[in-house]
Structure 1
Amino acid sequence: MSDVTTPGDGLVDELAEQVASYRSTRERLERGTLPLATSVDGVTFEFQASLHELTLERGCYVMLDGDDGARLGQVTDIASDSARVDMNREGGGPTSIVLRIARGSGLILDHVGTSFHDVRVRLAEPHEVSAVLAGPNPDRAGLTIGELLHAPGVPAVLDSGGFNRHTFMCGQSGSGKTYSLGLLLEQMLAETELRVIILDPNSDYVGLSRVRPDADPMVSERYRDVPDQVAVWGNDERADHLLRLRFAELDTNAQAAVLGLDPVQDREEYAVLADLLRQVGADRQLIESLDQLTGSDSPSAQQLGLRAANLGVLDWDVWAGDQPSILQDLDKPNARCTVVPLGSLGTVEEQRLVAQTILSRLCRWE
């Protein structure tokens, strides 16, 4: 039986050749896409690159090589994009080819402020990154927390001067936040003279006052003087001082919160409390502790004392009595670092009270 050729077979073969030619031309053009960057403001840059054998990724360091020298940059975003190219086919009319390329943006880390156009982009070598980033600010301590992910062997160094303002650390559960913060705190205590106050809900950092016996000798030597500068205020055997407060030290809002008073819903009792607290002697408030409420001659004070007793507030361990208060230490610190393991307190209400009171006191310092 002989093969039968239909008129459509030739058309199919021709179409397949055209598709193969299109793909070949497209790949050749895509591979020929030059890795070029442009910056208008001298602070950020945009770039293009071929998707074939792409070496650039988000976070990586790049060298931007121009006629006026090389700049260090860091890629902050990269994604695939398309670009249409119009061409004339051999023996035919014009055609368009859609190229798939990489486009992205980044920040300039060196020679900031100078604009440029169409400079070459290449992956930076670790020694090139180190030349710009590894050295700390000469008048401030550098805090080494590891090495750069995209520049192996180059230390990751934080400028300690950046911690004079708010810093936010976040991550998923199990991502290493506790360990990373512990390392950062150790570096701050060993390399700077910054005052540190730690509200520690899970008692993760009570060990800052001790050096592990199996620690590296060089690291131990750098940390040698730190334990004497750390004081732990808690409610268990690991604490240097008992974590205590005085009712009289609390501001009116905190005192009302302890007694479960709302300034609107419980306006009469709230007003009674505020009035009692305004009655001061020569050097102290009329009501210095909750125990005084129950023993007061004032019926209103007795009612507040009864409320405290019903709420179980009188049984809280956090009340100082004749013990020192942590707020006294915050105002006149005996140690550079104060660790407050909130989880050592018996109730959530006590933990909230201590955290609120300490934060309120710190806000007065700003």
Structure 2
Amino acid sequence: MAETDTDLLYLYNDTHLNSALPTIVFLSLIMVTGFIGNCTVCFVYLKRFKPSPLRCFILTTSFFDLFICVFDLPIAIVNMRYLYSSGEFLELCKAFHMLHDFSFMTSMFMLLAIAVERYKKICQPFENRMTVRKARVVIVVSCLLALVLSSPATIIFGAHIFPVNGKNNTIINATQCALANLHVYHIGTISKISLTGWIVLDIGVFLTLVVLYCLIWRKIYDHIDVMTNKTLSHSQNANIANASAEHASITDTRIDDDDNMTTTSVVSGSIDHSKTTMNQSPTRNTHDHPGTLLKVTLTMVCVSLASFVAYLPIICLMFIALFAPSTMTTFQESVTWLYYIVLQSFYIQCALNPLVYGFCNTAFRYEMRLACEKITSN
């Protein structure tokens, strides 16, 4: 390619930057916020929280969100900045699409794993409970499944060469990181299959989450009602506590440390129950607090809801591209900057997840406050 053609492609890249700049700023904010948030989550949960299945799933989700912020988002920004020459780095292009699919599929599977763990813990507390070892097996299987499902991206995606206008009414070739030219005659079919696959996967995951959390929510409220009645009975007859063992239900299930989100600081300051009387109540979270299940499960629901909100725009865009491609073309050409933001909106979950883990978790905020006090004291 002549030097003048190269300069012209860079000019096309600079012209495209005007419409891509809002999206680049949007992705940059997500990258910085997500990096700081997920580093904080990984540190606090890894160093301060006791091992539990829920901790394993949260750490895995945060790790892949951090991976997206460090690897995926910078390359996505570079691809948008150099749209007309991004396909020149073939191996990086293929790795980007495969790892992009792998990361997001693994995050989806972790949401499902968290929902299943909550369901088994709350709705089936006495049947084959999840352990840390089982959680690690689930994580490995999820990663392997995501790797298998994302591997076709290395074949489908690559350097897509397309013509653009050059000087003196000539035609020059631009190279974009997209569907490879190998599939130029089947690009429409491959695109539809890919869109359909993602739509089915997204909708299937979210419908499963809705069903599981509805069942969990119903059980929790039954649990709270029974605990309320149990408290009223205690006030009428203090000796009823001795008969509580007769009721084998979730109301008598001991909430594990991961439901209390117990940290090393909380454990070290645990209460001596031998010195607690009927008129005394512990100052810290206790294992039989009826609101603990609700708080932890609500946090996980918020994480799933944040992912749904992040994915909803791109799912709508996929439906439009699948069933009304002309409308998609019009939208892309008329409001290009908004089209690119909607196209990349699913990245926002990488920044939302740490916020949910932090603001919805009292123990997390407690550990962060301790860390800040140590930093300021030094």
Query: Shorter-chain TM-score: what band?
Result: under 0.3
Q: TM-score, normalised by structure 2?
A: 0.20
Q: Report the structure, 1 or 2, having the larger strand content.
A: 1
